[in-house]
Amino acid sequence: MSQEPIRLATRASRLALWQTEHVASLLQKAGFATEIVPMQTTGDAVQDRSLAKIGSKGVFTEELEESLRRRETHLAVHSAKDVQSSIPRDLELLAFLEREQVNDVVLSFNEQFSLAKPGIVLGTSSTRRKAQLRRFYPEATTAEARGNLQTRLRKLEEGQFDALVLAYAGVHRMGYDHLVRHVLPTQQFVPATGQGSIAIECAADLNPALKAQLKIALDHPATHTCLLAERAFLHTMEGGCSIPSFALATLDSNGAVRLHGGLISLSGEEYVEEIQQAAAADAYALGVAVADAVLARGGREILASIREHRG
């Protein structure tokens, strides 16, 4: 193809670069030349406060989106989990790459590490994981573990906590499988919307023919359907990643989508979950319906108490 290279905006963390190189290799297989354009985001710059405190909206995506708007890049590569629930009108989520195993996992340098041991300290920076741990492992304590994967692992190595709770996807992509001591079941530790998938964003007015080719090269339709349901859930829930909501959609062999979504209070005591199924074509409506059911069955009260707690 005698085209200019497809320029890919990415965060500069090792995980983000791995993901973007993966995108580049898919594009190269489809005949495109590629160029990777790393940049710092607010989320990378601010390391001393939890994400819930910075305000979650777009902290890992905004700078990348600005480069799309300035036409400096063609595509922005994000962890789907980090993408805000509504995209500005001049931008578009073009594709979702095939999802990695979605579970949260527990990492420790100690091969004998056990979650059953009383008094353990678990590092996590996610309000959802903190709340789920309080509910399902009330004996354990949690400690703040912000920073990229390498920073968090260094904190683990320094002994700031006994183990670290992370998304398997990132752990695997960084080659840390050997530190995994537990795979947390998705029935209890339902992941965050989008976990394990990579989202590709572009300017809405990118050349339509190019857009179509890029989508064919990158998009995984089954993952896309699941993400549509999860993101509709998140959007209806009006929460960013600072709200401990969770949503996991799966496709069954008949092509129906099953969505498990819910909300948990910060203490882990209040818990509302809902599981519904629909035809794949109704994935978006399914996400809205599950969120509406969660809000009606006690979710509204949980959200109100979380907001009050934040002040």
Task: Give me the residues that bind ligand PBG (CB under 6 A), please.
Answer: 79, 81-82, 166-167, 169-170, 195-196
Q: Are 61 and 200 in contact (CB under 8 A)?
A: no
Active site residue 152: yes
* Per annotation, catalytic residue among 81, 134, 173, 231: 81
* 298 SS3 class: helix
Whole-number minimum distance, CB 195 to ligand PBG, in Å? 4
**Residue 76: both structure tokens together:** 């922005």
By C-beta, is 149 or 289 nearer to ligand PBG?
149
177 belongs to the catalytic site: no
Q: How far is the CB of 200 from ligand PBG (least distance, A)?
A: 13
Residue closer to ligand PBG, measured from CB, 94 or 166: 166
Q: Which residue of the set 130, 152, 155, 231 is catalytic? A: 152
Distance of CA 217 to the CA centre of its chain: 22
**Annotated catalytic residue 11:** no
Q: Shortest approach of ligand PBG to residue 149 CB, angstroms? A: 7
Helix 14-29 to helix 149-157 angle, to the nearest 10 degrees? 140
- Would residue 181 show up in a list of annotated catalytic residues for this protein? no
146 is catalytic: yes
How many whole angstroms separate alpha carbon 151 and alpha carbon 143? 14
Catalytic residue among 7, 82, 104, 202: 82
Q: In the bound complex, what is the minimum distance in angstroms from residue 8's beta carbon to ligand PBG?
A: 17
Q: Helices 14-29 and 208-218: crossing angle, nearest 10°?
A: 110
Instruction: Given the residues 128, 130, 173, 231, select the one marked as catalytic.
Output: 128
For this structure, is 202 an active site residue? Answer: no
Tokens 């297989």 sit on residue: 29
Whether 81 sits among the annotated catalytic residues: the reply is yes
Find, among 45, 35, 54, 44, the residue nearest to 16 by Cα: 44
Going by C-alpha positions, the residue among 147, 234, 152, 139 that lies closest to residue 190 is 234
Active site residues: 81-82, 128-129, 146, 152, 241
